[in-house]
Structure 1
Amino acid sequence: MTIALVLLAAYVIDRILGDPRSLPHPVIGMGKVITALERVIRRLWSRPQSLQRAGVLLPLCVAGGAWALTAILLWLLSFISPWLVWIAEAWLISTTIASKGLKDAGMAVYVELHKGDIPAARKALGMIVGRDTTSLDSPEIVRGTVETVAENIVDAIISPLFYALIGGAPLAMAYRAVNTLDSMVGYKNDKYRDLGWASARLDDVANFIPARITALLLALCAWLLRLDWRNCLQMVKRDARLHPSPNSGYPESAVAGALGIRLGGENVYHGVASFRAYMGDPVRPMEPDDIIQTSRMMMLSSSIFVGLCAVVAWIWIGG
């Protein structure tokens, strides 16, 4: 019962507070550690083969360290009071979730589009995506926002809750470390191809099951919200595997199918065009309200999942 309450408390904390800038955030610390380790590794090894072997050290040190530090902290607090352990665990798990931050980021773009301020909408989108946004029109801004919110349902909500259910705050924090590593070094460019391969592969493995759970949750949400849940499942079956990521295609194709829009297409990164496989069929043009619908699907799917996690935890402990 304690695990169930901790998960619910963590989710409520994130929904209410999000990530207050006044409080220290573990991801910031992870980022600093990753940067420092990268410098050390590059000083010690410079050859591609050496960097490939050294790249395995990054997830071992960062994710393993995040797990160990969190476990040690909770163990030390247990000598003071079990209440402190529960409070600390709920707060730590909440820092691995970003439901409020994800919704707020998407709605910030929507507000500017609703006002007709395209330059401001481009700027707001540029805060949450890596693609160039300086020349995007309204439909492309909508596409970028919907894709980002949909993709991050897995990384920012379902996956951390999934690992919190299995291993509490230590495993949720280890997952967040893996995801942070992927976002910092998991690129297939000249700089990180050798050093970041292990981090990228581990992130793919970590999100494999949660991504597929997310697709099913989004189909359920589409049914509850009276969207096209049948097309949602059909697009997942048809298009999810076309995405370059083994996991991101599942939430993106699910949202595209439910809304009757087509995601994917050409993106520009640092002046270089890159084509992303299409997800869904263009039953109708994209419009700003698609951001609201995607946010609703995101919030509903996360609420359902945390409820399911709490039930599983209660039955698990009860058994």
Structure 2
Amino acid sequence: MIFYSLPEVLFLLAGAIVLDWLIGDPRWLPHPVIFIGKWIGYWERRLLPRTTKRRNGILLTLIITSSSLALVWILTAAASWVHPWFGYAVHLWLISTTIAIKGLKDAAMLVYDRLSRGELTEARKYTGYIVGRDTDELDEAELSRATVETVAENTVDAVISPLFFAFLGAAPLAMLYRAVNTLDSMVGYRNDKYIHFGWASARLDDVLNWLPARLTGLMLIIVSAIYRPASAIQAWRSVIAFAHLHPSPNSGIPEAAVAGSLGIQLGGLNRYGGAISERARLGWAARKIEKVDIIHTIRLLYGVSYLVMGGLLCAACGWLL
């Protein structure tokens, strides 16, 4: 791996955040996650039909993570060999592709804009792009809840976790995390098809997100204290009271923090492929969920990214001074 000094890593992370703020993931630029998804699909078609589901799922996880790590290591090493600044640029771009602050905001705003125009059918369509549940019959409040939950949960998956692993190992480790997260999103389901085959991917994703999820919960509480001091106490109480009720060991923390901060209740009845699922209810229903809560959650998302940026720049400047 190409080793950088601490100030270099900090400035790389700050630069990646700025790049994501500005351009996000433009469609004209090839995205590594697309290639990871195709690579997962290639091996899934070959391994899933076999009878030893769990063993082959472990093999799938090993193949995808090791190849993603090795390829990015080779790419960044070659770029740094050509010229150090070229190495910086490749690291910067690759790290920025593992985070999705602007992408999350844009996807959530597509739902909000359609709800604001009263275009419920279109809002259901765009919500369906970002959640796994059935959206065909959801009303405005349920569409808003689904979007808020997605933005809250992905503040971990698409922001803090990849930055955390980029801090530990620059682009190679950030891409390894993104490969694991993509595996989980493709095969980490608890249904008849994937419950054994996706076991390793889902468990590894839980392990990698464990610390970043708790850091995210703390950051959401701090951001809530900056925006509305009283809401920070509710966010903290909500995490303590409800986060452990979520079926995921990690997702309940950011969702409970956002629910407490906004004074709403997340969770409830969801429908997946026609089957009804009761999700743990997080937070206190001080009021009904409204479409404006999407805006509030985006504000918390960006607040977390500003907090991280401030910490990176202060740490870098302090080290240099």
Structure-1-length-normalised TM-score: 0.95
2:37 maps to which of 7, 31, 38: 31
**Offset, 1:309:** 3.9
Report Cα offsets for 1:224-277 as digits up to 9, x if no partner. 111611000000000000000000000000000000000000000111110000
Q: Which amino acid aligns with 1:115?
A: R
Q: Map residues 210-221 of structure 1 onto 2, 5 A cutoff.
A: 210-221=212-223
> What residue is the counterpart of 2:4 in the other structure?
none
- Report the counterpart of residue 131 of structure 1 in structure 2: 133
Matches within 5 A, 1:229-268: 229-268=232-271
Q: How many residues align?
A: 314
In structure 1, what is the Cα distance between the partners aligned to 2:271 and 2:56?
31
Shift of 1:307: 3.2
The residue identity in structure 2 corresponding to 1:19 is: D
CA contact 2:235–2:260 (8 Å) conserved in 1: yes
Q: Do the aligned partners of 2:11 and 2:312 also contact (CA within 8 Å) in 1? A: no
Residues 119-268 of structure 1: pairs in structure 2 closer than 5 A: 119-226=121-228, 228-268=231-271
How far apart, in 2, do the equivalents of 1:78 and 1:168 lie? 13
How far apart in 1 are the matches of 2:48 and 2:287? Answer: 50
| Deviation by residue 1:47-71 (Cα, 9 ceiling, x = unmatched) | 2xx2211211122111111111111
Please tell me the residue identity of whatever aligns with 2:31: H
Provide the C-alpha distance between the structure 2 equivalents of 1:196 and 1:127, rounded to a whole number of angstroms: 22
Q: What amino acid maps onto 2:21 in structure 1? A: R
Match of 1:56 among 45, 55, 58: 58
Q: SS state of the match for residue 56, structure 1?
A: helix
Which residue of structure 1 lines up, in the alignment, with residue 8 of structure 2?
A: 2
Which residue of 2 is the match for residue 304 of structure 1?
A: 307
In structure 2, the gaps of 5 or more residues are 1-6
Secondary structure class of the residue paired with 1:203: helix
The separation in 2 between residues aligned to 1:286 and 1:123, in whole angstroms, is 19
Query: 1:286 corresponds to which residue?
Result: 289
Contact 2:259 2:283 survives alignment (8 Å): yes
Once the two structures are superposed, residues 2-54 of structure 1 have per-residue CA deviations (whole angstroms, 9 ceiling, x without a partner) of 212211111111111111110110001001110111122235xx22xx22112
- Is contact 2:47-2:60 (8 Å) kept? no
Tell me which amino acid in the other structure corresponds to 2:202: A
| 1:204–1:314 distance in 2 versus 1, CA, 3 Å | farther
The 10-residue stretch of structure 1 (71-80 or 95-104) with the greater mean CA deviation from structure 2: 71-80
Alignment partners' CA distance in 2, 1:121 and 1:195: 33
Residue 61 and residue 100 in structure 1: after superposition, are their counterparts in 2 closer, same or farther (change >3 A)?
same
User: Cα deviation per residue 1:265-306 (whole Å; 9 max; x = unaligned)?
Assistant: 000011111000000010011111111000000011122123
- Show CA shifts across 1:80-132 (max 9, x none): 10000000000000000000000011111111111122112111111111111
Q: What secondary structure, in the 3-state scheme, does the structure 2 residue paired with 1:189 have?
A: coil
2:48 alignment partner, SS class: helix
Distance (Å, rounded) in 1 between the aligned partners of 2:312 and 2:166: 9
Report how far residue 314 of structure 1 moved. 6.4
**Displacement of 1:308 after TM fit?**
2.3
Determine which of 8, 13, 18 is the counterpart of 1:12: 18
Structure 1, 119-128 or 216-225: larger mean CA deviation: 119-128
- 2: CA distance, partners of 1:313 / 1:32: 37
SS in 2 for 1:245: coil
CA contact (8 A) 1:3 1:314 kept: no
Alignment partners' CA distance in 2, 1:225 and 1:143: 21
C-alpha root-mean-square deviation of aligned residues, in Å?
Answer: 1.5
Look up the equivalent residue of 1:187 and give its one-letter code: Y
Q: Does 1:21 align with 2:23?
A: no
Work out the percentage of aligned pairs sharing the same amino acid.
51
Amino acid at match of 2:307: I
Q: Distance in 2 between matches of 1:309 and 1:41?
A: 42
Shift of 1:207: 0.3
